[in-house]
Amino acid sequence: MSIRGRAFVAGAFEHPLREIPDASVAQIHAEVALGALSDAGLGLEDVDAYFCAADAPGFGPVSMADYLGLRNLRYLDSTETGGSSYLVHVGHAAAAISAGKCSVALITLAGKPRTGGSPPGGSMGDPQAPEVPFENVFGPTTVGLYALAARRHMHEFGTTSAQLAEIKAAASSHAVHNPNAFLPVEVSVEEVLDSPLVADPLHRLDCCVVTDGGGALVVVAPEVARSLERTCVKVLGHGEAPKHTANGRLDLTYTAARWSGPRAFEEAGVKPSDIDYASIYDSFTITVLEAIEDLGFCAKGDGGAFVAEGVLRAPDGKLPFNTDGGGLCNNHPANRGGMTKVIEAVRQLRGEAHPRLQVPDCSVALAQGTGGNIGTRMGSATLILGLEDA
């Protein structure tokens, strides 16, 4: 069964703050939920499905349904794939809507890593994780594992630090137009290379920001979308896949987007060349580079030369990306950037991106989520969205 055209994103909201010391995580979930519902022209009483991941406090969707006062629920989903969870949720919501299980699905994210919440690190901080006895003894860090992937890509394909730095420079050229961006300062390739090394070959400016914040989406059935005054965005295709260490036989030069991307493109009935705008998870610059290759925007190993041509810069680049500044400059709430990738894709399709960065005639957009760590195990989700006539 295909979900193409079976559901629409009707509401999208990103918390405007990057430091929120005086609100609980549950409060932030509630704020973004109300924001997305208001954006769609709906209320809490309309919601009959709720989706959240491990960032939700308490007993997951049960605690949050109670806190939010969601009284009409008939479908719950707490799938956890790290930062890609929220793209997975959109696909699952579309499937549930298509199956008649629900008609208005609310998806929320919130976290406070900047002002006292859970820090980055994922399963490395869980002593019960099955990989811990085999890996933690070596002292891995998040940035160190991404640096391993970057160094291997350089070894295999001749990728350079300057090519990675262009990804940050492009994101920063977009962030200067975002009044809410955590780092609204444009930087050059040279400034990225001059920033301190954090884990060779990654510099400080190759790394994402750490912010409080959150976001929410509302996914609805076609008949609900038709009843709303708000411009709704059609779900065209969705794919998801894990990648793990394969008992040590791990190729660091690719991500699980190698599998999630083709599945999403096939369901959507489009090709990489049809994408007008791309939101690509950018925990680190190497995350973007490998995803671009794995999604088929260029051949494996050609990502460095591809981005060096300025293709990522909006509005006129061949593949304009992350026009909000992305996780590298704007926002990485709860250390989970997938939610904001969908939100900015929705903005572009609605024609609501910053006027200087709005992609002309944007009708098909891709959002790519990465969860976990590309240096060990990860979950990838690819979402393709379009306008009503796409």
Asked if the peptide bond before residue 315 counts as cis, ω within 30 degrees of 0, the response is yes
The structural domains of the chain, with segments of one domain joined by +, span 8-118+207-386
CA distance 40 to 218: 7
Q: Does domain 8-118+207-386 have CATH number 3.40.50.300?
A: no
Evaluate if residue 184 carries a pLDDT over 60: yes
Q: Select from 112, 158, 68 the least CA-distant residue to 333.
A: 112
- Residue 134 confidence (pLDDT): 87
CA distance 294 to 254: 7
The separation between CA 156 and the C-alpha centre of its own chain, rounded to angstroms, equals 27
Label the pairing between strands 49-51 and 233-243: unpaired
Evaluate if residue 66 carries a pLDDT over 60: yes
- Residue 117 confidence (pLDDT): 72
Quick: pLDDT tens for 17-28. Answer: 999 999 999 999
Quick: pLDDT tens for 81-136. Answer: 999 999 999 999 999 999 999 999 999 999 999 998 766 655 566 788 888 888 88
pTM over 0.85: yes
- Residue 18 confidence (pLDDT): 98
